[in-house]
Structure 1
Amino acid sequence: MYYEIHGDPAHSEAILLSSGLGGSHHYWQAQVPELAKRFKVIIYDHYGTGKSMGTLPEGYNMAQMAAEIETVMAQTETERAHILGHALGGLMGLQLAIQSPEKVASLLLINAWAKTDDHTKRCFEIRQSILKQSGLAMYLKAQPLFLYPSEWMKTNRALLDRELDHLLSSDFSEDNLLTRIAAIEAFDVSQSLPSVTCPVGLVATKDDLLVPYSCSLELDKTLTHSSLYLLEHGGHGCNVTEPEAFNQLLETFYDALR
């Protein structure tokens, strides 16, 4: 598994950042400098993506993805960590807190959910259709439509073009992508949430096209020790589009854990 450590490795606490469907450690570039002031920061590429390439097995599921977080923690000599996860990365964090609670100090979940909503499944159906019928390039070109607000995309066209060029030049497996989507669609830990006892922060964005913010509201109702942070704007990738507001939420959440 490919990983990087930022900040002082001697920090008494560690935080592991897990991105969404893309699986890339690059996703967190606006958060790493801030978090490195107080944590040993671990970022990594999910297995089957980026520099952690490999062929995903048949029946690949969230429990296996959570076990990969444990692998990264072992590689970095980290016994326990705060988990910050975006969408799929948040689901992996929830799964880890259920199957290995002693390894999770807290969870901060961005636009996550306990059971994949029918609206989200519909979005993934459309994305899979684009991938299968129009190819990878068109899938990647359409991807920001599900992640970011239109006005932000309009004013950040150059950044999106650079990101598209980077993705098109990467070693990208369509089969792995479809396997990861299938694991997301099958995800359901709604009956296991009462076993999550660590502090949980829930960040939800009201204009998220991909995941209804009501999914975070439902999590907040069910979890024992949760705090809800609602953003009016920012889309699905709000930590990218609204980094200052999001980083302030990070500070608020982790300060409250002291």
Structure 2
Amino acid sequence: MALHYEAHGPADGDAVLLSSGLGGSAGFWQPQLRALLDAGHRVITYDHRGTGRSSAALHPAHAIADMARDVIEILDATSTPRCHLVGHALGGLIGLQLALDAPSRVASLALVNAWARTDAHTLRCFGARIALLDACGARAYVEAQPIFLYPAAWCAAHAQRVADEVEHALAHFPGAANMHARIGALRDFDVDARLGDIAVPVLVAAAMDDVLVPWTCSQRLAQGLPHATFECVLHGGHAHSVTDAAAFNRGLLAFLARVATPEVPA
């Protein structure tokens, strides 16, 4: 099965690969795309295997390491020697795994509401979501999704947008088996003892009102990485890259400017 990916921007721009969270959709990064392109980056987006336009049945033992190998496949297909990987939640886990398994392919990491080892609170949230899916079906699962992604006030102020997202998610739902496999992969992820092996610069971004992943998980992640910058905002929820995209983009672009790949002398 071919993975669906797109490369935007100048071929000689510093490559930024965007890896989304549990939903797996490249569309999650729409609020960042224009800002990155305007800054001169080459931007690679993709739908994770088993989601969206990369539809495929996943093995029940599908793991974060398998997802990291998919990123290598995309980098090879786009003739990208290495990239700055920006990952949201599960996408951040993919970035950490890639930096451990293929460090030469990673120039830097930006990890948004990610973690090194899955917290008990996050496990409880995903357990409840799986129970809802199994007992009530796909619609109930996707109707609950905004509760975990966005602050309540933001959902209320953007009610139609949230409703449209729910309908889109339902229309493109990857199936219960794939959701079980993807949640199982993040549930089993644990690189806490290996963080010291990740030598690249890392931006760790979190929001204190994230109801799915405690911000302290990002704090712990940053403390374990040798070259991490920790930025935590008060509001914005699990998807603060969406709910406060302007502020998030400023921080991301500033980080990328600091760690830009130096030009190789001719």
Q: TM-score, normalised by structure 1?
A: 0.98
Mapped partners of 1:175, 1:9: distance in 2: 38
Aligned to 1:101: 103
Mapped partners of 2:172, 2:250: distance in 1: 33
SS at match of 2:31: coil
**Displacement of 1:58:** 3.0
**Displacement of 1:186:** 0.4
Aligned to 2:93: 91
- Contact 2:60–2:177 (CA<8 Å) still a contact in 1? no
Counterpart of 1:164, as a letter, is: V
Mapped partners of 1:176, 1:40: distance in 2: 30
Residues 93-124 of structure 1: per-residue CA shift (max 9 Å, x gap)? 00000000000000000000000000000000
Which aligned pairs between 1:68-147 and structure 2 lie closer than 5 A?
68-147=70-149
Counterpart of 2:140, as a letter, is: M
Question: Which consecutive residues of structure 1, in runs of 5 or more, have no partner in the other structure?
Answer: none
**Number of equivalenced pairs:** 257
Quick check: 36-45 or 164-173, which moved more? 164-173
Mapped partners of 1:200, 1:251: distance in 2: 13
Mapped partners of 2:12, 2:199: distance in 1: 27
**Displacement of 1:162:** 1.1
SS at match of 2:192: coil
| 1:148 aligns to 2:187 (yes or no) | no
Aligned to 1:15: 16
Which aligned pairs between 1:1-258 and structure 2 lie closer than 5 A?
1-11=3-13, 13-37=14-38, 38-170=40-172, 172-258=174-260
Give the fraction of aligned pairs with identical amino acids, expressed as a percent. 43
SS at match of 1:83: strand
Following superposition, which runs of at least 4 residues in structure 1 exceed 3 angstroms of deviation?
A: none
Residues 214-242 of structure 1: per-residue CA shift (max 9 Å, x gap)? 11111111110000111110000000100
SS at match of 1:201: strand
**Displacement of 1:10:** 2.8
Aligned to 2:263: none
SS at match of 1:29: helix
SS at match of 1:191: helix
Q: TM-score, normalised by structure 2?
A: 0.95
Mapped partners of 1:255, 1:102: distance in 2: 20
